[in-house]
């Protein structure tokens, strides 16, 4: 697997995790039931943190790989 393909895979993973976070946040916004809020707190927020770390890692890798000509 090439380096570019790996970066695209990491970006897709980050997007999917962020979308799942958004869905769970919308569920909590519409119906604030205890189980939905618990799932949001213990599953959705760590998933968003992982998505942000993945995105930051890919961005820093891209910035580090660019050399001025």
CA distances 9 to 2, 13, 23, 37, 58, Å, are 11, 6, 21, 30, 10
Please report, in tens digits, the pLDDT of each residue of the chain (69 residues total).
Answer: 677 788 889 999 999 999 999 999 999 999 888 998 898 899 999 999 999 999 999 889 888 876 665
User: pTM of this prediction?
Assistant: 0.80
Q: Which pLDDT score is estimated for 68?
A: 61
């Amino acid at each position: 697997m090439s380096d570019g393909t790996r970066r695209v895979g990491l970006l897709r993973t980050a997007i999917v995790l962020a979308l799942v976070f958004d869905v769970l946040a919308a569920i909590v916004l519409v119906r604030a039931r205890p189980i939905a809020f618990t799932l949001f707190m213990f599953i959705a927020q760590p998933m968003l943190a992982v998505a942000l770390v993945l995105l930051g890692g890919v961005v820093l890798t891209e910035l580090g790989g660019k050399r001025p000509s």
